[in-house]
Structure 1
């Protein structure tokens, strides 16, 4: 049996911690490294598809989960990304006041526009650059965890790093009772 590696398959160093990451998470890890972010992508033992699941796996508060919610802007079909505290529900009317009329995005739209599956949408590295808003409530926290391209992958950052990485404005997007 031939043990040669196909020239089309990427060669990975087994000592490289990125080699063990799923493809999308590896792409995010490389992007973060290129942006100067030094904290690693962490794989959760269980899914982090919901903020509660991610917080339980990380031992942090639900508020510290920087969840990525994607909408579709009606006028031009552009993706609208809201990075919100896991403790908040997004007020679609507030978002629409900032970016124009929006609609919910289905799984196909999310995958086509971001390159990520729902539950793993990273705040950066999208196939189509989204209009992005950062939940103002995130700025009150010291540490955040965001999805890193895969439902089990996350990375740690500060609110200030999130704003710097995305270049997005901070806005009141939370639904208030």
Structure 2
């Protein structure tokens, strides 16, 4: 009996200490990262699904703008080919994905510049509806990326800051997850020059 008290006491104490060290925090945070990444993918997929309709409407009004339309179609194809599952979140994979999505965003921006030359197209109700949906989707992408960034921050803190990092290094061995980064940080840091 006395022997069981000596064994039971340390086991109980160890289990209490481990529960206080965030034993369940790291897997919970990992689940949040995976869910946030899935939402990012979902919103990019939504944007990608809107593009064929947008291209077909523009094609009807601006048939001679084939170069711009082709660039959008190719950027969409590249963006849909570059998929990164939540189990493949390495800095390289996230960077490839971000570059493909950035290429699609640039192609869409060029398409919107072309649209400015066609007042009849801008007046088309279907085009306006698609433009509003695309704008809403871009906002959703921003929100999803922000949620992903916040979940990554929480997860990375758990795997690098004691005492949860001790538990991680002893039992789980999770690495930090990569952040979404801006394609050209130097250009973003520099304020735009506005001349009147």
How high is the TM-score relative to the length of structure 2?
0.24
The higher-RCO structure (CA 8 Å, 6+ apart) is 2
The structure with more strand, counted as a fraction of residues: 1
Is the radius of gyration larger for structure 1 or structure 2? 2
How high is the TM-score relative to the length of structure 1?
0.26
The structure with more helix, counted as a fraction of residues: 2
